[in-house]
Amino acid sequence: MSALNIKRGSTSHSAYDLRDPNAEVIESHTLAILVENEPGVLARVIGLFSGRGYNIESLTVAETDHARHLSRITIVTSGTPQVIDQIEAQLRRMVPVHDVHDLTAEGPSVQRELALFKVAGKGEARIEALRLAEIFRAHVVDSTLESFVFEMTGTPEKIDSFADLMRPLGLKEIARTGVAALSRGV
Amino acid sequence: MAKAMSGAMTGARMVVQALKDQGVDVVFGYPGGAVLPIYDEIFLQNDIRHILVRHEQGAIHMAEGYARSTGKVGVALVTSGPGATNAVTGLTDALLDSIPIVVLSGQVPTFMIGTDGFQEADTVGITRPCTKMNWLVKDTAKLADTIHQAFHVAKSGRPGPVLVDIPKDVQFATAEYTPVQRARTSHYQPRLKGDIDAITAMVEMLETAERPVFYTGGGVINSGSGASQLLREFVEATGFPITSTLMGLGAYPASGKNWLGMLGMHGLYEANLAMHGCDLMINVGARFDDRITGRIKDFSPHSRKVHIDIDASSINKVIRVDVPILGDVGHVLEDALRIWKARGRKVNKEGLAKWWKQIAEWRAVNCLDYKGSTKVIKPQYALQRLEALTKGMDRYITTEVGQHQMWAAQFLGFEAPNRWMTSGGLGTMGYGLPASIGVQIAHPEALVINVAGEASWLMNMQEMGTAMQFRAPVKQFILNNERLGMVRQWQELLHGERYSQSWSESLPDFVKLAEAFGCKGIKVSDPADLDDAILEMIRYDGPVIFDCLVEKHENCFPMIPSGKPHNEMLLGEADTQGVIKAAGAVLV
């Protein structure tokens, strides 16, 4: 097929991607979507995912460009390569969507999530929780004699492992922001 | 200050002004509490004609018929709550068939939104999945700009329906009007030109292809009459065979020598086998719908595929293609023709000659053949006579949904685009009658015929009142088999002949119904009387309800059963025994 000599990316949705488009393997992708900061736009984006049966593993949204009136939605989703391509194309054609970046496909990116953990306990468990928090570089943002609230920023995996460690030590509640992500470099 | 405010007006007046500035000459609508200020403004002017419908669904389908037959944007105006919810089916229909319409809906005043006010519904919430875009306007100063945006979005790129929800207080309040030329430039500007490298790759492929086929769709019609012209030139110059989806009929003339007829579930044998056996498929503005592809795994297994589409999400959605070309059909065809000519107008003549010989063999099967009768009118015969007696006339056809729709697509010939209005994607029973009125309003002198089944037709028959009031002489050509024919056919083939709820009991007397509306009713049941009856219908200067009693158990063939590939087509009754397996029965 390469004999046809079509430049990669010669259309916005080339079938000549190097990865196997027919692979049935489920991949996790992080998408950054720049949208108009208008009422209903988030609902339209979310509605696309629910209406067409796509997954949302994590979602964050906030205005990021006040002057241009733009919000950035970061969605972690999963699907076969064909589904991921379709999600991107479906997002791209939405009227209030200005730009879509598949951060997973476009190269290395940094992904961070903020989480708060409430851990209650006394004695050895309490000391152990504090020690592990230090190792994970979690901050204590609230403390009583019987509890801590830890704040931690990191990859979703790091937050998962910290949560796993805290569970036997008296983990009561977790609040997570969902992933924020940027591509590396300029 | 006085000068700056020279364009100040109420929101309601802005609506009418913005419609005028967008070149709108007709609005299909129904008044109600939340749009009364706009109706006041409509009352005070004569530039925009208002067509009062009998149900809001009718208004949307009329706007669709208007849009599809003119290439312009159709406009509908409905009130809040039930007015807006009644519009939902039409909006979804327009979304699936890419029809540009702008729907304006009234809403309770902004200060009452969220209080469960009288006739309050979350209209933008309800219509979000069935519009290309929608807006709730909370500030009169933004109203005109939003309406201009709405028109831009409706007709740009892949066309579609949009909705602007306007609270009543926004209609009353006063602000500065935004003329079209001062409207915000939308960032939404879909690319029209296709990538030249990809187009060149397509040209290279068609120069050597032995068994090429053009597979065209509604995108050609949406791209405008220029696109149809270019398609015709391309087809004639290359000598390639061409088939089309239901939505694309008329882009290439049915009388053209390269025409294979419609493809798909009830498409022609030669068209489907050409799709199955081709070595190069050039998809021009179609979307590999499941009615077209049959079983995906076995769809056209030996071909390289090119797909021209303005919507990137249509490309590789269902069928992986070898050369995707993102762009407007007209622009891409223009470039493709130019490049092909510059490279010396090459085609594989030897291969093509063999290919046409093969196609001739498939054609000889005469797949539309049916058993005639002198006792009862066969639906196919009724359409053949309708075709023969209206050929050459300034004719527009709309349809309802079901067997009659497929027979109309098979037996009527379309020589030009925008002459065929049918609900393809959504399959909306009740579409045809209001659509025919919308078409007739746009083309007052033309012969507009709605080919209908009696069951579909009853779904929006109230619109005969609209046809009468606005002197739209639409002809309702009802093939009456007293059955939900397509449902009955599936029950026969797939559900052990258990005809659950698929007959039309207690049908009205259509002639008396016509008289009740004040129009003409014609009933015919003898094939010998058919021609005279059709001529009487055509000649009558006003709406006609034509009750054509046809064979009750006729099945529509050819048929590719759900879950089957193109080369496993059923050609007639003899083929139908036990062919459809459980796996196919779960598909629709």
Q: What pLDDT shows up at residue B494?
A: 85
Q: Using the 8-state DSSP alphabet, how is residue B503 labeled?
A: B
Q: What pLDDT shows up at residue B313?
A: 95
pLDDT tens-place values along chain B, 588 residues long = 444 557 899 999 999 999 999 999 999 999 999 999 999 999 999 999 999 999 999 999 999 999 999 999 999 999 999 999 999 999 999 999 999 999 999 999 999 999 999 999 999 999 999 999 999 999 999 999 999 999 999 999 999 999 999 999 999 999 999 999 999 988 999 999 999 999 999 999 999 999 999 999 999 999 999 999 999 999 999 999 999 999 999 999 999 999 999 999 999 999 999 999 999 999 999 999 999 998 899 999 999 999 999 999 999 999 999 999 999 999 999 999 999 999 999 999 999 999 999 999 999 999 999 999 999 999 999 999 999 999 999 999 999 999 999 999 999 999 999 999 999 999 999 999 999 999 999 999 999 999 999 999 999 999 999 999 999 999 999 999 999 999 999 999 888 899 999 998 899 999 999 999 999 999 999 999 999 999 999 999 999 999 999 999 999 999 998 888 888 889 887 666 555 555 666 676
pLDDT in tens, A69-119: 999 999 999 999 999 999 999 999 999 999 999 999 999 999 999 999 999
Give the start-end residues of each E strand in A1-134.
27-36, 58-65, 70-79, 97-102, 109-120
Q: Is the predicted pLDDT of residue A33 greater than 60, yes or no?
A: yes
Distance CA B173, CA B169 (A): 6
Q: Cβ contact (<8 Å) for A44 and B324?
A: no
Q: Is the predicted pLDDT of residue A121 greater than 90, yes or no?
A: yes
- Report chain A residues whose CB lies below 8 A from the CB of B325: 11
Distance CA B487, CA A155 (A): 54
CB pairs under 8 A between A and B: 81
**Beta-sheet pairing, A27-36 with A97-102:** antiparallel
- Measured in degrees and rounded to the nearest 5, phi and psi for residue A143 equal -145, 135
- pTM higher than 0.90: yes
Q: Cβ contact (<8 Å) for B188 and A95?
A: yes
Residues of B carrying an active site annotation: 56, 118-119, 168, 486
Distance CA A158, CA A152 (A): 9
The distance from CA A101 to its chain's CA centroid, rounded to whole angstroms, is 13
Distance CA A8, CA A167 (A): 48
pLDDT in tens, A146-163: 999 999 999 999 999 999
Q: What pLDDT shows up at residue B567?
A: 86
Q: What pLDDT shows up at residue B185?
A: 86
Distance CA B135, CA B161 (A): 12
Q: What pLDDT shows up at residue B64?
A: 98
Closest CA to A63 of A41, A35, A43: A35
Q: Cβ contact (<8 Å) for A11 and B194?
A: yes
Q: What pLDDT shows up at residue B69?
A: 98
- The ipTM (two decimal places) reads 0.89
Query: Which residues in B have their CB inside 8 Å of a CB on A?
Result: 124-125, 128-129, 132-134, 136, 153, 157-158, 187-188, 190-191, 194-195, 197-198, 201, 204-205, 311-313, 315-317, 320-326
Q: What pLDDT shows up at residue B393?
A: 97
Cα separation values, B142 from A70, B14, B302, Å: 18, 10, 54
The single-letter code of the amino acid at B288 is F
Q: Cβ contact (<8 Å) for B313 and A90?
A: yes
| H-type alpha helices, chain A | 41-51, 81-92, 123-135, 156-166
Q: What pLDDT shows up at residue B572?
A: 83
CB-closest option in A47, A82, A95 to B133: A95
Q: What pLDDT shows up at residue A14?
A: 40
Q: What is the mean pLDDT of residues A32-40?
A: 95
The tokens of B463 are what?
A: 């619109």
**Cα-Cα-Cα-Cα dihedral of B258, B260, B262, B264, to 10°?**
-130
Closest-approach residue (CA) in chain B for A51:
B129
Distance CA B481, CA B429 (A): 16
CB-closest option in A6, A12, A86 to B317: A86
Cα separation values, B534 from B440, B465, B530, Å: 19, 22, 6
Element (H, E) at B103: strand B101-107
Q: Using the 8-state DSSP alphabet, how is residue B529 labeled?
A: G
Distance CA A137, CA A128 (A): 14
